[in-house]
Amino acid sequence: MSNAVTVPKLYYPLFDHNVTEVVEPSGRCTAKTTSNEIYAVTMMMADKRNNVWYCRAEKGDIRETIFSSMINTIQLMGLERMFVWSLSPFQITCLQTGAKCYFSGINGKTDDDMTATKGFTPNGNTLALCILDESDQVKHFNHITAWESTAYRFLLPHGKMVYAYNPPMNRHHWAYTFFGDKVKNGASRIYATWRDIYKLLPIKTIQQIEKFAKDDPEYYRYWYLGEPVNFKGMVYPQFNREKQTRDIFEFFAERDRIVELHIGLDEGTAFDSTCATPIAIWQSGRALVLDCLEIDPVKTGQLAPTEASRRLWEWLQDLLLNKFPFLQKVPRRWIFESAEGGQQLRLQFVNDFGEDCRLVTHKSITGDIKRVRSMLNDGILFFYDSPNVNTRQLMDDIEGYVFDEKTNLPKKGQRDDTIDSLEYGTKLYYDNPITVGG
């Protein structure tokens, strides 16, 4: 006889056949492991083709971690009579269907060793679910890519790839970019904290967590909330997405009003994006980033000033007419970078559409950073996040923006075009008096 088990609502995407990739970056005691295993057991009992590949970084960790955990979940569900397991090899088989759960370590011997999972072949050449537990502990993302290439050979049309991990303490860790890109490309993201499953936790566990929160708040944030807490080397450690994200209509509800729109622009090259960041300046002195345009030359090819000018205008019309129509009567000014490409685009844009456009003067990398840091510290710079704008990409870039230890300047080769356009926009905020209107 089976036991009733509860899967938190946050994890329902696991049971959606239209979802094929799931990223689970959460802290401890959030039910991600148990939820994944309940789904795995459910799939195995449904069809003989629904084999599961359950993996970790190191093969030597399997017995005491995912193998034992999977058995515990089967027992929790009251289904131990429906399964058999073996230690050599590590394997669990469903007696009802014959579906198997395989266990592997995916780390290669070196960063570029892609052979650890190369020879894997499941029963019947089918997989319904692949779980990579503690994904951030893999030595190098190359090993995940190699694991994926093997898995996709056998994955059924409704099959899923699941990546579960506790976000690393340091924001520089490769996991933030690697799994962040998966979410940007369509993977479902499931983020939970212990509070989401409060009613399912033993009272002793809750008491221990609450004690951590009181005695060691920073470690609590990392361990139980899944937040990075090591900010060494970050250009903008003051940035906190939760604190800095605001809804524009909250400002209106506070009887604040927009008095000017500043738009910072960073002109791209054959390899760098052209980016524009609009910042709404409020009567209270607060600044709210509304969107972030990015024209990627990899996708569009390098644009002539005439074409770039036209695209800027089309974006502006969409911004004013569709996204924020109340901005149409608000005074606005642009500020373009002062490099040759920026000057050419500014002249073209002014000639084409007559916009009020300035050039960045007295450019200083250090000064730009100090200015944005100051606005974050003073609690006057905020970001509007909504499905119809691109500020989330800008915030991702800010969170990953780091210094080069040798030069004490931002590292070369980072995604910084969006950030440059933001910095230019804030320069206009400080260097020019606000024209009240709207």
What CA dihedral angle connects 74, 75, 81 and 86, to 10 degrees? 70
| Phi-psi label, residue 216: left if phi above 0, alpha if psi -120 to 50, beta otherwise | beta
- At residue 1, the pLDDT reads 54
* pLDDT at residue 438 is higher than 70: no
- At residue 4, the pLDDT reads 67
Q: At what angle do helices 203-215 and 217-225 cross, to 10 degrees?
A: 140
CA distance 390 to 292: 5
Structure tokens at 63: 């017995």
Q: pLDDT band for position 272 (50/70/90)? A: confident
- Structure-model confidence comparison of residues 149 and 2, the more confident one: 149
Structure tokens at 317: 């019309």
Q: Tell me the sheet residues that pair with 383.
A: 245, 289
DSSP 59: G
Mean pLDDT, range 317-322, rounded to an integer: 88
Q: How far is CA 343 from CA 199, 338, 355, 357, 422, in A?
A: 60, 6, 14, 10, 18
Sheet holding 188-189, edge to edge: 83-87, 90-94, 100-105, 52-56, 127-132, 155-165, 21-25, 188-189
Q: pLDDT band for position 12 (50/70/90)? A: very high
Share of the chain above pLDDT 90, in %: 68
* pLDDT at residue 186 is higher than 50: yes
The domain 9-225 having CATH identifier 3.40.50.300: the answer here is yes
Q: Do 9-225 and 241-426 show the same overall fold? A: no
CA distance 383 to 242: 10
Judge residue 52's burial from the number of C-beta atoms within 10 Å of its C-beta, 0-12 exposed, 13-18 middle, 19 or more buried: buried
What CA dihedral angle connects 389, 370, 412 and 274, to 10 degrees? 30
What CA dihedral angle connects 115, 117, 122 and 126, to 10 degrees? -90
Mean pLDDT, range 398-414, rounded to an integer: 85
Q: Are 427 and 360 in contact (CB under 8 A)?
A: yes
Structure tokens at 306: 């005439």
- At residue 432, the pLDDT reads 58
- At residue 269, the pLDDT reads 75
Q: How far is CA 37 from CA 7, 215, 315, 378, in A?
A: 10, 33, 46, 46
Query: Tokens 């490769």 belong to which residue?
Result: 174
- At residue 435, the pLDDT reads 43
Radius of gyration of the chain (CA): 26
- At residue 313, the pLDDT reads 96
Q: At what angle do helices 391-399 and 174-184 cross, to 10 degrees?
A: 170
Mean pLDDT, range 355-362, rounded to an integer: 90
* DSSP β-ladder status, 100-105 and 52-56: parallel
- At residue 433, the pLDDT reads 45
Q: pLDDT band for position 326 (50/70/90)? A: very high
Pick from 235-244, 247-256, 293-302, 425-434: least confident: 425-434
Residue 426 amino acid letter: T
Residue 99 amino acid letter: A
Element (H, E) at 313: helix 305-318
| Termini Cα distance of the chain | 69
Q: What confidence tens digit (pLDDT) does each residue in 82-100 have?
A: 999 999 999 999 999 999 9
Residue 283 amino acid letter: Q
* pLDDT at residue 437 is higher than 60: no
User: Where do the domains of the chain lie?
Assistant: 9-225, 241-426
CATH topology of domain 241-426: Nucleotidyltransferase; domain 5 (3.30.420)
* pLDDT at residue 291 is higher than 50: yes
- At residue 169, the pLDDT reads 79
156-170, 228-242, 406-420: which is most confident: 156-170
* DSSP β-ladder status, 188-189 and 90-94: unpaired
Total Cβ atoms within 10 A of residue 120: 17
DSSP 161: E
- At residue 365, the pLDDT reads 87
Omega cis (within 30) before 89: yes
- At residue 288, the pLDDT reads 98
Element (H, E) at 204: helix 203-215
